[in-house]
């Protein structure tokens, strides 16, 4: 039967920490040669190895379930794809996206229609530029046919 500290060691190890760090956290010890040796001894234990394997299998199942759920979300269309996002941003840029909202007046709430303001349109243009790579750095190759002086209008004295 594993102790609570050994279980914590295994959890830390499975989470991606090395043996020494896992031991240091689980047993509240400094990270030194003694810690490394103790972690190494624990990792050689059949009971520890078995529990680590069990935790890894549980993690695999969790990841598989998460992947299936993520795939279902994408297939169901509940997440906008790049084209849909670009179309929406383009509508904002053109002022075609009308937002129906409620505004309080002296007679009570009133429904009003809003179009994007200038700043919203500029932000949408910037997002579209990011999406299509307009801000991507370009590489410019410069070739010099001969050595050129840094300051061509200044005469230098080569007799130094």
Query: Using alpha carbons only, what angle is made at residue 116 by residues 115 and 117, rounded to the nearest 5 degrees?
Result: 115
pLDDT, tens digit (0-9, with 9 covering 90-100), for 13-37: 999 999 999 999 999 988 788 999 9
Predicted pLDDT at 32: 85
> Tokens at residue 75, please?
């297939």
Q: Is the pLDDT higher at 5 or at 109?
A: 5
Whether pTM > 0.75 for this model: the answer is no
Q: pLDDT of 48-106, one tens digit each?
A: 999 999 999 999 998 888 888 877 776 776 777 788 889 989 999 998 888 888 888 88
Reference 10, options 42, 41, 38, 58; nearest CA is 42
Q: b or e along 100-120 (b: 16 or more beta carbons within 10 Å of the residue's beta carbon)?
A: eeeeeeeeeeeeeeeebeeee
Q: Is 110 helix (H, G, I), strand (E, B) or coil?
A: strand
Ranges of each domain in the chain: 4-76, 82-131
């Amino acid at each position: 039967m594993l102790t609570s500290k050994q279980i914590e060691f295994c959890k830390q190890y499975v989470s991606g920490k090395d043996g020494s760090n896992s031991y240091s956290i689980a047993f509240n010890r400094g990270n030194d040669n003694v810690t490394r040796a103790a972690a190494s001894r624990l990792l050689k234990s059949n009971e520890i190895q078995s529990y680590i394997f069990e935790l890894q299998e549980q993690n695999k199942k969790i990841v598989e379930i998460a992947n299936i759920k993520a795939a279902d979300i994408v297939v169901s269309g509940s997440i906008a794809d790049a084209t849909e996002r670009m179309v929406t941003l383009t509508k904002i840029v053109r002022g075609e996206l009308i937002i129906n909202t409620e505004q309080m007046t002296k007679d009570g709430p009133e429904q009003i229609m809003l179009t994007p303001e200038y700043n919203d349109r500029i932000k949408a243009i910037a997002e579209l530029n990011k999406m299509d790579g307009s801000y991507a750095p370009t590489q410019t190759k410069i070739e010099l046919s001969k050595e050129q002086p840094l300051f061509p209008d200044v005469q230098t004295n080569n007799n130094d």
